[in-house]
Amino acid sequence: MSWSKHLETLNRLTSKLETVYQGRPVTPDEAFDLLFARTLRLRADNGTLFCIGNGASAAISSHFSADMAKNGALHTEVFTDLALLSAISNDMGFENVYAEPFSRRAKAGDMLVAISSSGRSPNILKCVRRAADFHTDVITFSAMDSDNPLRECGFLNFYVPARLYGNAESLHAMLLHYWTDLFLNEEKQEN
């Protein structure tokens, strides 16, 4: 596939972005307005922004977490410590690798960003379901099948109909960069 065809594919997929807020469809602009307001409140309340994902989605969540901590002055956490990951995986099973440390650190009013291209990763879904126990807002980013369970779990859900992991991951990174840039630029305009 040529570069121009690849860009056309990404543009087509971007135009098919679906955003759902508390079970009802909203426009992407409405979704990002909600995220902006919620992110401001999270920082004002000294809440924590938790970010989870597997593989490339873990790298994307870590990058997003770093940007929001450094540039957005938010308290963020990712569970990427190798000793913690391997201890929980070995002793409690990989499906608990995020839910276990999250349940020890989360509190009401925090936010969980869950990224999964397939939307079917058991460890991501278990942590997202655990977030309900803490009254934590969940923001999801998924792709692949339109019936993936992750896209039904969040306070706000972003879904792109990408079938290839590279496309899904590129679009998720783009959406998270947009969230970061929107938050930083809008915040400057408000001050």
Domain assignments of the chain as residue spans, ordered by start = 17-184
Encoded tokens for 191 = 């001050």
Q: Give residue-wise pLDDT tens across range 54-110.
A: 999 999 999 999 999 999 999 999 998 899 999 999 999 999 999 999 999 999 999
CB distance 91 to 97 below 8 Å: no
Contact 60, 176 (CB under 8 A): yes
Tokens (6 digits) for 118: 């397939």
Residue 187 has pLDDT above 70, yes or no: no
- What's the average model confidence in pLDDT over 43-48? 96
Q: Tokens in use for 40? A: 């401001």
Dist CA 69 CA 72 (whole Å): 6
Whether the per-residue pLDDT at 191 is higher than 80: the answer is: no
Residue type, 80: T
Residue 1 confidence class, pLDDT cut points 50, 70, 90: confident
Report the percentage of the chain scoring pLDDT > 70.
97
Task: Place domain 17-184 in its CATH homologous superfamily.
Answer: Glucose-6-phosphate isomerase like protein; domain 1 (3.40.50.10490)
